[in-house]
Chain A
């Protein structure tokens, strides 16, 4: 069998494993009458398929899973947490074998499937701590006889190096290299029983010469428990794509070919570019090209379901380790987003979930004392919202106390002791760098790996993170990420000399308001009088100008899915264009109301408006607020590629 065909079969087998995992997790919850039978049949299918394509080791693993499931069906093995853990470990082993990997971890997991007495598999006593040590000394360190490799070697003697990593991005070519200068930064994970004192003494002479981070990691998991870095989700070289998406792409390509040929014919006939025929032929070709781009991006869309399954397992293992009892609810697993965004999202979601389980949800005893059900509730939901995917991680735990946040921020020097902050602002402090809990060994400056990192990772993707919370009731973290780098169809408008793009899908109609149509309400809001009623007028973000909109210009009546309606008053509608939406550089966040930026037809940079947010705000709090960065939009916007 050719490697390519085999690869396809492997992918199919891997795809079968994901619902299997979900079924095992459901089995643990005990909701299905014939849960064991269902899982058994699924494993049996996988075994046959693996044997058929010659993956004997994988078939063997499936057989081991089958026989444990059989014992569970007969009642000779209980269907409890221990056996489910062994089964999940077996699924991980099976996955590895399908991929062609093997090793001691795989063998250990398979051995655990044997009908050992139903006690927990005795893990080898873990070493006392796992520490992540990152060392980045200053450029002149070598000249001052400080050698990071020597320091790390000393640290390495204090335990076992589990893994290590070099930071090479500053290393130049051999020709440009100055040997006395330090270009490398180092990181390793050490399993050690050494004391903080011993560790500190290694780095004593390096104090003040750079940054040292020491972070304690969770203890190494035993077989069947999920690894920190997660099993599945490694680089996939093939994609499963719905056939209709490929068909759409093929059809559009054919149409584009016809349209381009048309342009070519006209050109050869000597038809000038001013001629209406040439203009419409070119426009058609452009339209098809942009639709092809969209169709191509759509091929990379994957549902969130697999990510959710991984999170379910993560919650299962982490809550057990923390002694918390948690029920997970997942909504919106069928929501799709770009594959690479989904991969990068997983880490952020794990981080937020870990926070929820660690700090949010209380232990059962504390919950009972607070009058809450002993099992905590964690809800993960996703939905598509105008070019973005909005996710929430919500728990019914103890919530975030703004007073404690304030106190912590003061003690970390992030705000002045007498600073008066409204509650919403206080909560946002948890996103400040340096807010996270204290570091270990040494006073060398360290960076907290906390919510600031999660938020900036999300912003790098073109998304954002915000928090809402009620003390004693729970916390909700809201993330957003762009759906894809799809091309947006929009109206390019000018307002006060700036260019803006309004997504076409929200525009209902355009009107030219006369002065008499603009009215001011008693509460200060400006509205537009329409035959159908009155519509609030929005001021687009980033625009300076007179407070009161005058007659003239153009008003775009926009309406959103949520049913909000508003009018966007601008000077002129310039063109309808397909634009490539790019996230704004982190440092230029405009606050609400902006989806991103784009380069429009005349080469200028324009802000793309988030109409849903603007209308929601207009409906909510009265007068259109001035934006955070008032004034002119800087010409050189640094737009960042999301790859």
Chain B
């Protein structure tokens, strides 16, 4: 059986509004406003704590700045979540976050979460 190629990451980005219909026992976190080199270590530490076997929902509405360091942490977290049997879900992405997803081609992997509209 082939292992999944290393050059991919599973990141679920909820299109549109909040991901209704999700089981509320899933942990949900607000992403801090600055996902940048200076805050990357702290960001990584907090993600390491919550990434596990349950899906983790990250609310991106407060994100004002993203740089490569912050993006790397996010993508590595998505990969680790998958490896641990969980999942990383991004919802309510701010315009800044959306722009980053566009520039990196990640927005093409939009997978809307099945759910009931609010």
Q: Which residues of A contact B (CB under 8 A)?
A: 142, 147-150, 152-153, 156, 161, 163-169, 171-175, 177, 179-180, 182-184, 186, 188, 643
With A147-B67, A173-B79 in contact, is A188–B48 under 8 Å at CB? Answer: no
Compute the total of residue contacts between A and B using a CB distance below 8 Å.
92
**Contact A168 B75, beta carbon cutoff 8 Å:** yes
**Contact A171 B75, beta carbon cutoff 8 Å:** yes
Any chain A CB within 8 A of the CB of B29? no
| Beyond A149-B68, A153-B103, A179-B69, 6 additional pairs, beta carbon < 8 A | A149-B100, A150-B68, A166-B105, A174-B51, A174-B80, A175-B48
**Contact B76 A172, beta carbon cutoff 8 Å:** yes
**Contact A177 B68, beta carbon cutoff 8 Å:** no
**Contact B105 A171, beta carbon cutoff 8 Å:** no
Closest Cβ of chain A: how far from B73's Cβ, in Å? 6
- Docked Cα-Cα span, A184 to B9, in Å, equals 12
Q: Which one, A156, A168, A173, A179, contacts B103 given CB within 8 A?
A: A156
Q: Which one, A163, A164, A183, contacts B72 given CB within 8 A?
A: A183
Q: Which one, B7, B37, B51, B103, contacts A169 given CB within 8 A?
A: B7
**Contact B68 A168, beta carbon cutoff 8 Å:** no
Any chain A CB within 8 A of the CB of B64? no
**Contact B105 A179, beta carbon cutoff 8 Å:** no
Q: List 30 A-B contacts (CB under 8 A).
A: A147-B67, A147-B68, A149-B66, A149-B67, A149-B71, A149-B100, A149-B103, A150-B67, A150-B68, A153-B99, A153-B103, A156-B103, A164-B104, A165-B104, A167-B7, A169-B5, A171-B72, A171-B75, A174-B73, A174-B77, A174-B80, A175-B80, A177-B44, A177-B73, A179-B69, A179-B73, A184-B71, A184-B72, A188-B105, A643-B2
**Contact B103 A188, beta carbon cutoff 8 Å:** yes
Contacts of A168 in B (CB 8 A): 6-9, 75
Q: Name the residue of chain A whose CB is nearest to the CB of B42.
A: A179
Closest Cβ of chain B: how far from A139's Cβ, in Å? 12
- Docked Cα-Cα span, A152 to B104, in Å, equals 9
With A149-B68, A168-B9, A184-B68 in contact, is A179–B77 under 8 Å at CB? Answer: no
Considering the complex of A and B, which 3 residue pairs feature the smallest CB-CB distances, nearest first?
A: A179-B40, A164-B105, A174-B80
Contacts of A153 in B (CB 8 A): 99, 103
Any chain A CB within 8 A of the CB of B106? yes
Any chain A CB within 8 A of the CB of B83? yes
- Docked Cα-Cα span, A49 to B76, in Å, equals 48
Contacts of A163 in B (CB 8 A): 105, 108
Contacts of B76 in A (CB 8 A): 171-174, 177
Contacts of A643 in B (CB 8 A): 2
Q: Name the residue of chain A whose CB is nearest to the CB of B38.
A: A179
Any chain A CB within 8 A of the CB of B93? no
From 1 to 38 in chain B, residues with beta carbon under 8 angstroms from any chain A beta carbon are 2, 5-9, 37
Q: Which one, A142, A161, A172, contacts B69 given CB within 8 A?
A: A142
Contacts of A173 in B (CB 8 A): 76, 79-80, 83
Closest Cβ of chain A: how far from B2's Cβ, in Å? 6
Contacts of B71 in A (CB 8 A): 149, 184
Closest Cβ of chain B: how far from A165's Cβ, in Å? 5
Contacts of A172 in B (CB 8 A): 76
